[in-house]
Protein backbone atom coordinates (compact mmCIF):
# COMPACT_ATOMS: atom_id res chain seq x y z
CA UNK A 1 0.00 0.00 0.00
CA UNK A 2 1.42 3.31 -1.09
CA UNK A 3 0.76 6.35 1.05
CA UNK A 4 0.19 9.66 -0.65
CA UNK A 5 -1.18 13.02 0.37
CA UNK A 6 -4.71 11.63 0.12
CA UNK A 7 -4.19 8.57 2.33
CA UNK A 8 -2.38 10.24 5.22
CA UNK A 9 -4.40 11.52 8.17
CA UNK A 10 -3.69 15.23 8.43
CA UNK A 11 -4.47 15.47 12.15
CA UNK A 12 -1.96 13.01 13.61
CA UNK A 13 -3.52 13.47 17.07
CA UNK A 14 -6.71 11.91 15.70
CA UNK A 15 -5.16 9.07 13.70
CA UNK A 16 -6.21 5.55 14.67
CA UNK A 17 -4.09 2.43 14.57
CA UNK A 18 -4.90 -0.11 11.84
CA UNK A 19 -6.63 -2.34 14.42
CA UNK A 20 -8.72 0.58 15.70
CA UNK A 21 -9.69 1.52 12.13
CA UNK A 22 -10.86 -2.06 11.51
CA UNK A 23 -12.81 -2.00 14.79
CA UNK A 24 -14.74 1.01 13.50
CA UNK A 25 -15.55 -0.82 10.26
CA UNK A 26 -16.65 -3.90 12.20
CA UNK A 27 -18.85 -1.91 14.62
CA UNK A 28 -20.55 0.21 11.95
CA UNK A 29 -23.97 -0.90 10.79
CA UNK A 30 -23.38 0.55 7.33
CA UNK A 31 -20.92 2.45 5.16
CA UNK A 32 -21.22 4.85 2.28
CA UNK A 33 -19.88 3.31 -0.92
CA UNK A 34 -18.43 6.01 -3.18
CA UNK A 35 -18.03 5.38 -6.87
CA UNK A 36 -17.44 7.51 -9.93
CA UNK A 37 -18.16 7.22 -13.59
CA UNK A 38 -15.53 7.33 -16.31
CA UNK A 39 -16.20 11.06 -16.72
CA UNK A 40 -15.69 11.61 -12.97
CA UNK A 41 -19.31 12.03 -11.90
CA UNK A 42 -19.43 10.98 -8.22
CA UNK A 43 -22.05 8.77 -6.62
CA UNK A 44 -22.37 7.68 -2.99
CA UNK A 45 -24.80 5.12 -1.63
CA UNK A 46 -25.21 3.73 1.89
CA UNK A 47 -24.85 -0.06 2.05
CA UNK A 48 -24.70 -2.86 4.60
CA UNK A 49 -21.14 -4.02 4.31
CA UNK A 50 -19.03 -6.37 6.39
CA UNK A 51 -15.46 -7.63 6.64
CA UNK A 52 -14.65 -11.25 5.83
CA UNK A 53 -11.21 -12.72 5.07
CA UNK A 54 -9.60 -9.25 5.11
CA UNK A 55 -11.92 -7.94 2.39
CA UNK A 56 -15.23 -6.11 2.51
CA UNK A 57 -18.43 -7.54 1.03
CA UNK A 58 -21.97 -6.46 0.27
CA UNK A 59 -24.88 -7.87 -1.69
CA UNK A 60 -27.48 -6.35 -3.98
CA UNK A 61 -29.90 -7.14 -6.78
CA UNK A 62 -28.04 -8.75 -9.68
CA UNK A 63 -26.92 -6.45 -12.48
CA UNK A 64 -29.46 -3.71 -11.84
CA UNK A 65 -29.05 -0.02 -11.12
CA UNK A 66 -26.69 2.89 -11.14
CA UNK A 67 -24.32 1.34 -8.60
CA UNK A 68 -23.74 -1.70 -10.82
CA UNK A 69 -23.36 0.46 -13.93
CA UNK A 70 -20.68 2.53 -12.19
CA UNK A 71 -18.84 -0.55 -10.87
CA UNK A 72 -18.62 -1.79 -14.46
CA UNK A 73 -17.17 1.57 -15.54
CA UNK A 74 -14.64 2.04 -12.75
CA UNK A 75 -13.55 -0.60 -10.23
CA UNK A 76 -11.86 1.87 -7.86
CA UNK A 77 -14.10 2.60 -4.86
CA UNK A 78 -14.10 4.01 -1.38
CA UNK A 79 -16.03 3.06 1.76
CA UNK A 80 -16.68 5.51 4.59
CA UNK A 81 -17.67 4.10 7.98
CA UNK A 82 -18.71 6.40 10.84
CA UNK A 83 -19.76 5.32 14.29
CA UNK A 84 -19.78 6.44 17.89
CA UNK A 85 -20.77 9.92 16.76
CA UNK A 86 -22.00 12.30 19.45
CA UNK A 87 -22.24 16.07 19.35
CA UNK A 88 -20.22 17.76 22.11
CA UNK A 89 -22.17 21.02 22.42
CA UNK A 90 -19.87 22.50 25.06
CA UNK A 91 -16.83 22.07 22.82
CA UNK A 92 -18.73 23.05 19.65
CA UNK A 93 -17.48 19.81 18.14
CA UNK A 94 -18.36 16.17 17.59
CA UNK A 95 -16.87 13.04 19.11
CA UNK A 96 -16.68 10.42 16.39
CA UNK A 97 -14.70 7.57 14.91
CA UNK A 98 -14.40 6.98 11.19
CA UNK A 99 -12.65 4.66 8.79
CA UNK A 100 -11.99 5.13 5.10
CA UNK A 101 -11.24 2.13 2.89
CA UNK A 102 -9.93 2.63 -0.62
CA UNK A 103 -9.83 -0.38 -2.87
CA UNK A 104 -10.82 -2.36 -5.91
CA UNK A 105 -14.23 -3.92 -6.33
CA UNK A 106 -15.19 -7.09 -8.19
CA UNK A 107 -18.26 -9.28 -8.40
CA UNK A 108 -18.00 -12.60 -6.59
CA UNK A 109 -18.62 -15.28 -9.23
CA UNK A 110 -17.52 -18.49 -7.50
CA UNK A 111 -20.59 -20.30 -6.08
CA UNK A 112 -18.71 -21.65 -3.04
CA UNK A 113 -17.39 -18.18 -2.19
CA UNK A 114 -20.91 -16.74 -2.62
CA UNK A 115 -22.31 -19.24 -0.11
CA UNK A 116 -19.48 -18.53 2.35
CA UNK A 117 -20.09 -14.79 1.98
CA UNK A 118 -23.87 -15.25 2.42
CA UNK A 119 -23.25 -17.17 5.65
CA UNK A 120 -20.82 -14.50 6.88
CA UNK A 121 -23.34 -11.79 5.95
CA UNK A 122 -26.03 -13.46 8.03
CA UNK A 123 -23.66 -14.07 10.94
CA UNK A 124 -22.95 -10.32 10.91
CA UNK A 125 -26.48 -8.93 10.40
CA UNK A 126 -28.83 -11.80 11.41
CA UNK A 127 -26.90 -13.80 14.02
CA UNK A 128 -30.05 -15.36 15.49
CA UNK A 129 -30.77 -17.24 12.26
CA UNK A 130 -29.55 -20.84 12.03
CA UNK A 131 -27.36 -22.14 9.24
CA UNK A 132 -30.16 -24.15 7.60
CA UNK A 133 -32.33 -21.03 7.29
CA UNK A 134 -29.40 -19.09 5.84
CA UNK A 135 -28.66 -21.78 3.26
CA UNK A 136 -32.36 -22.09 2.31
CA UNK A 137 -32.62 -18.33 1.79
CA UNK A 138 -29.40 -18.32 -0.22
CA UNK A 139 -30.71 -21.10 -2.49
CA UNK A 140 -34.01 -19.26 -2.98
CA UNK A 141 -32.48 -15.89 -3.93
CA UNK A 142 -29.09 -16.94 -5.32
CA UNK A 143 -29.89 -16.16 -8.97
CA UNK A 144 -31.33 -12.72 -8.17
CA UNK A 145 -28.53 -11.67 -5.82
CA UNK A 146 -25.03 -10.45 -6.56
CA UNK A 147 -22.18 -10.28 -4.07
CA UNK A 148 -19.34 -7.80 -4.41
CA UNK A 149 -15.89 -7.93 -2.86
CA UNK A 150 -13.78 -4.89 -2.10
CA UNK A 151 -10.10 -5.66 -1.75
CA UNK A 152 -8.54 -2.84 0.27
CA UNK A 153 -5.58 -0.92 -1.09
CA UNK A 154 -5.54 1.40 1.90
CA UNK A 155 -7.37 1.71 5.22
CA UNK A 156 -7.18 4.73 7.48
CA UNK A 157 -9.07 5.80 10.57
CA UNK A 158 -9.43 8.88 12.70
CA UNK A 159 -11.34 9.89 15.77
CA UNK A 160 -12.00 12.62 18.27
CA UNK A 161 -11.98 11.18 21.81
CA UNK A 162 -11.69 7.55 20.66
CA UNK A 163 -10.99 6.12 24.12
CA UNK A 164 -13.90 8.03 25.66
CA UNK A 165 -16.48 7.08 23.05
CA UNK A 166 -15.44 3.45 22.61
CA UNK A 167 -15.45 2.80 26.35
CA UNK A 168 -19.20 3.52 26.35
CA UNK A 169 -20.04 0.97 23.63
Burial string for 54-91 (b: 16+ CB within 10 Å, else e) reads ebbbbbbeeeeeebbebbeeeeebbbbbbbbeeeeeee
Per-residue pLDDT of the chain (169 residues; tens, 9 = 90+): 445 555 566 656 567 888 989 999 998 989 999 999 989 999 999 999 999 999 999 999 877 889 999 999 999 999 999 988 778 888 887 778 899 999 999 999 999 999 999 999 998 988 998 889 888 988 898 888 999 999 999 999 987 776 665 666 5
Distance CA 159, CA 11 (A): 10
Predicted pLDDT at 2: 46
Bridge partners for 87 per DSSP: 94
Is 54:70 a contact under the CB 8 Å cutoff? no
- Domains of the chain in start order, with CATH, are 13-110+147-160 (2.30.110.10)
Amino acid sequence: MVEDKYTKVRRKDRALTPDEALLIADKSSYAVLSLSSVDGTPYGVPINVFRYDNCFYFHCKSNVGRKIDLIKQNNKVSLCFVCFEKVDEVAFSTDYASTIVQGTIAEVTDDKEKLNVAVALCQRFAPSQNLDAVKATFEKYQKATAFYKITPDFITGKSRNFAKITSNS
